[in-house]
Amino acid sequence: MKAEWIAVDWGTSHLRAWAMQGETVIDHGQSENGMARVAKGEFQVALLDLIGDWLGTTPIDVIACGMVGARQGWVEAPYSATPTAPIPVAPVRVPNTDPRIRAFVVSGLKQLDPPDVMRGEETQIAGFLFKRPNWDGVLCLPGTHTKWVQISAGEVVSFRTFMTGEVFELLRSQSVLKHSVGDGWDEAGFSDAVNDALSKPEQLAARLFELRAADLLHEQDPGTARARLSGLLIGAELAATRAYWLGQQLAIIGADKLADVYASALGQQGAFVETVSATQTTIAGLLQARNLTRETA
Amino acid sequence: MKAEWIAVDWGTSHLRAWAMQGETVIDHGQSENGMARVAKGEFQVALLDLIGDWLGTTPIDVIACGMVGARQGWVEAPYSATPTAPIPVAPVRVPNTDPRIRAFVVSGLKQLDPPDVMRGEETQIAGFLFKRPNWDGVLCLPGTHTKWVQISAGEVVSFRTFMTGEVFELLRSQSVLKHSVGDGWDEAGFSDAVNDALSKPEQLAARLFELRAADLLHEQDPGTARARLSGLLIGAELAATRAYWLGQQLAIIGADKLADVYASALGQQGAFVETVSATQTTIAGLLQARNLTRETA
């Protein structure tokens, strides 16, 4: 099946692509060829491997967002500085591509003080705002590196990145806690831990080894340990983002298990949270980015 | 050279042994055969490999402390519960050893609420208190898992364990921060980060990714990033242990670079800190443990 254009989300660990006809997805594919696995000079090969069947004889647009625009990526797409519209400039064209494609990469955003960067989330934000042009509030984008983004009048005013997902995974799989954290879940344990981290954030460092000791001394269930570890780390994130979510209009971009966990933590603090699909906002954002390439062509 | 007895510190990552004549060290050795590398059933082989030259024809005492007394260790030495003297019971004899040795393992300590455990540090504490029988105050034992221990009237009243060292190493070497944290040090950056974590512990989670972004946007020096990461994590530990160190008599057991870092962080908060040698306190503690085996023999 031939595409009219191709939407691509190319992050650190995944490469996802959608064959598009206007605003409609007609096919999709994904591979493990994220940035972390693709060497400089091999980006086009990795991409064509995934999208080759969608290409015809006339060149079509490929619009990509994510870490692929980093300095070590396919082409460097320089950051735009906040405050700014999520996609304020046309995507950067990749030079010397296969003649069947015209490839473009969306620029990320930077905030100078406190220093912060994003690549990929700006596209989701653009997609979200396209559907809700007058939406003001705070977006939470959960992931390995969760972003909190303050939106006003169509612009990204400020944002902060949290390594919560990465820290959770390292502690769960690589630290001494790996002996005590297992499968399963305990919603009450999660809630307790979120509350604990929010009400006594200065005690966070004392809580981690407790998960190991509670196993050795009290045979704490491995699923409870998992939920408590998640709750402590997300609670610490909520303590640091209180000004972002307290009394604000709030939406989570994401509709997976991790988004549910964030929604649960915020909900128990009395925040009303809406969740929207990350895939749909990504594709909608890439469509906006494509329109920008055509306006400036 | 033949030993009168042998002192052994057997932790997760190291095996250290000292050939003793009374209270005097006459030789020493160490290997990488920590608990993590030695399978059940191979402990004696790993030990004899290190101490074989010190053995004669008559059996001599080998007194060991550390993780070797865990359930997965050479012999399980059950925890003693706080409040308690650091070594309240005679070490547990290892059954069926080589006829040239009589091996004993010192019991660890446990605290039921909040749950916590130690193995090895109790021996250092016993050694410290042997030299200062009337010392009351708080001991800090820096390491992969740092312990804070409240001492009163010769007993361990309470203690808390912090995974600060392990978390630092995981973030430095395995997380996205590995691209921005390098060799070198920046004492001012360390101090700033300690102060920041102590004064705004609820902001800790927001500070980590900043180390990556400050590199990407402001080319922050890798040594500064290292010092700031260390400062943030140690600052978070000091925030959680404020009741332990504020206005207390304080000693750090350890005289290495890590102990210096803790002493610097505490010193800048106005705490007066003494540091003592971990090796000397370990050996002094093992000597106490050996005396207990002889009293009960």
Residue B123 lies in a domain: yes
In chain B the first and final C-alpha atoms are separated, in Å, by 27
Looking at the fold, whether A65 and A168 belong to one and the same domain comes out as: no
Residue B146 lies in a domain: no
Pick A217's closest partner by Cβ from B112, B205, B242: B112
A84: CATH: 3.30.420.300
Burial of B98 per CB tally in 10 Å (0-12, 13-18, 19+) = middle
Rounded mean pLDDT of chain B? Answer: 96
Structural domain boundaries, residue A106: 5-127+285-295
Partner-chain contact B204 A204, CB within 8 Å: yes
Looking at the fold, whether B188 and B251 belong to one and the same domain comes out as: yes
Mean pLDDT of all residues in B246-268: 94
Looking at the fold, whether A115 and A26 belong to one and the same domain comes out as: yes
What pLDDT score was predicted for residue B36? 86
What pLDDT score was predicted for residue B85? 98
3-class secondary-structure state, position A110:
strand
Looking at the fold, whether A171 and A105 belong to one and the same domain comes out as: no
- ipTM attached to this prediction: 0.94
Looking at the fold, whether B65 and B113 belong to one and the same domain comes out as: yes
Q: How far is it, in rounded angstroms, from Cα B61 to Cα B104? A: 8
Partner-chain contact A206 B110, CB within 8 Å: no
Q: How many independent structural domains does chain A possess?
A: 2
For residue B53, pLDDT over 80 is answered with yes
3-class secondary-structure state, position A28:
strand
Residue B31 lies in a domain: yes
What pLDDT score was predicted for residue B287? 98
Looking at the fold, whether A52 and A81 belong to one and the same domain comes out as: yes
> How far is A54 from chain B, CA to nearest CA, in Å?
34
Enumerate the residues of chain A whose CB falls inside 8 A of the CB of residue B209: 116, 145, 160-163
Looking at the fold, whether A117 and A189 belong to one and the same domain comes out as: no
What pLDDT score was predicted for residue A152? 97
Residue A90 lies in a domain: yes
Looking at the fold, whether A183 and A227 belong to one and the same domain comes out as: yes
What pLDDT score was predicted for residue A11? 92
What pLDDT score was predicted for residue B11? 92
Looking at the fold, whether B80 and B127 belong to one and the same domain comes out as: yes
> Which letter, b or e, does each residue of B222-243 get, where b requires 16 or more Cβ atoms within 10 Å of its Cβ?
bebbbbbbbbbbbbbbbbbbee
Looking at the fold, whether B103 and B220 belong to one and the same domain comes out as: no
Pick B205's closest partner by Cβ from A79, A162, A218: A162
Mean pLDDT of all residues in B119-148: 96
Q: Which of A53-57, B2-6, B293-297 has the lowest mean pLDDT?
A: B293-297
Looking at the fold, whether A168 and A259 belong to one and the same domain comes out as: yes
Enumerate the residues of chain B whose CB falls inside 8 A of the CB of residue A212: 117
Residue to test with chain B: of A204, A230, A233, most B Cβ within 10 A? A204
Looking at the fold, whether A239 and A289 belong to one and the same domain comes out as: no
B180: CATH: 3.30.420.310
What pLDDT score was predicted for residue B295? 76
Residue B116 lies in a domain: yes
Pick A205's closest partner by Cβ from B112, B116, B236: B236
Residue ranges of the alpha helices (H) in chain A?
43-51, 121-131, 164-174, 187-199, 204-218, 222-240, 242-245, 257-268, 278-295
> B272: pLDDT confidence band, cut at 50, 70 and 90?
confident
What pLDDT score was predicted for residue A296? 62
pLDDT in tens, chain A (297 residues): 899 999 999 998 899 999 999 999 999 999 999 988 998 889 999 999 999 999 999 999 999 999 999 998 999 999 999 999 999 999 999 999 999 999 999 999 999 999 999 999 999 999 999 999 999 999 999 999 999 999 999 999 999 999 999 999 999 999 999 999 999 999 999 999 999 999 999 999 999 999 999 999 999 999 999 999 999 999 999 999 999 999 999 999 997 899 999 999 999 999 989 999 999 999 999 999 999 998 765
Residue A249 lies in a domain: yes
Partner-chain contact B217 A112, CB within 8 Å: yes
For residue B297, pLDDT over 60 is answered with no
Residue B108 lies in a domain: yes
Residue B139 lies in a domain: no
